[in-house]
Amino acid sequence: MVLINIKGKSEADQFLCEAKTTDSLDPVSTAVVEQWNLRLRLKWYLTCARELQKGVAQIQEIIEKCERDLKESQTTVFPLDHWKEQVRLLRAAVTIGYPLEASGPLADLAKAMESLEIDEETRLRKQHILHVMDNEGQIADQKELYDPATANLWFASKLLHRDKILSDFVGKNEKTKITCKITSATSGAPAREPAIDQQTQKEMMAYWFKKQEEDKRLAEDDEIAFGSSEWANPKAMKAQFQGLRDLRLR
């Protein structure tokens, strides 16, 4: 199986999936984009569920489990069904914690939020529950969602055309690992990767900052040494002519 590393704007967006070299790129692209979208939605659901977890152990437990899996998915392949199950478990936990609000129709929950008779804390709680339970609701990263039927995968600055098979671009070696990015059907090629990764850039900046501080300290030491030198003393020549340069008091 070819290992496909999907990259986004940050390291937290990365995840692994796999496909055969003989697979058509149309279903492969669709499956990858569906997983991308569901992971984004799950992250949004988790953000809202954190506001509901106080005093509800089931919500706390599934949040921790999802966060571990999201991080592990950067090095381990999880199928799409895994993320669907995580969403189901999260919603079940919210329903346990808030049975009256989470188990009813979403339209009723949305209507209740507009009532002038509830306080702000109650309104926010209902809003968070609605966000977790709604499959089609807006999320914080709405612009990062793609149409699974038309979005494109890019590898090595090449568009992986949906009407071709994976081996047309990566060869027939099933042990290949590639890195891909997703764009909408109307977008061009994604931005090229920087010459150095984010961690290396941080280390280089830390090194240069440390070096600048060290150079500054050395320059200050040199100035102190210069000012303390006898030849730099403006009164030294006068003292020499007066015969006082090497005078020692007993």
Q: What is the pLDDT of residues 155-196, one digit of tens each?
A: 999 999 999 999 999 999 999 999 999 999 998 898 776 655
- 22, amino acid identity: T
Min mean pLDDT across 25-29, 103-107, 114-118 is at: 114-118
Q: Name the pLDDT band for 223 (thresholds 50, 70, 90).
A: low
- 69, amino acid identity: D
Highest-confidence range of 31-40, 119-128, 130-139, by mean pLDDT?
31-40
Task: Report the pLDDT value the prediction gives residue 113, as an integer from 0 to 100.
Answer: 86
Q: Among residues of the chain, what percentage have pLDDT more than 70?
A: 85
Q: Is 153 helix (H, G, I), strand (E, B) or coil?
A: strand
What pTM does this model have? 0.76
Nearest CA to 33 out of 185, 161, 149 is that of 149
What is the spatial distance between Cα 138 and Cα 158, in angstroms, rounded to a whole number?
31
Taking the CB of residue 77, how many other CB atoms lie within 10 A of it? 13
181, containing H or E segment: strand 177-183
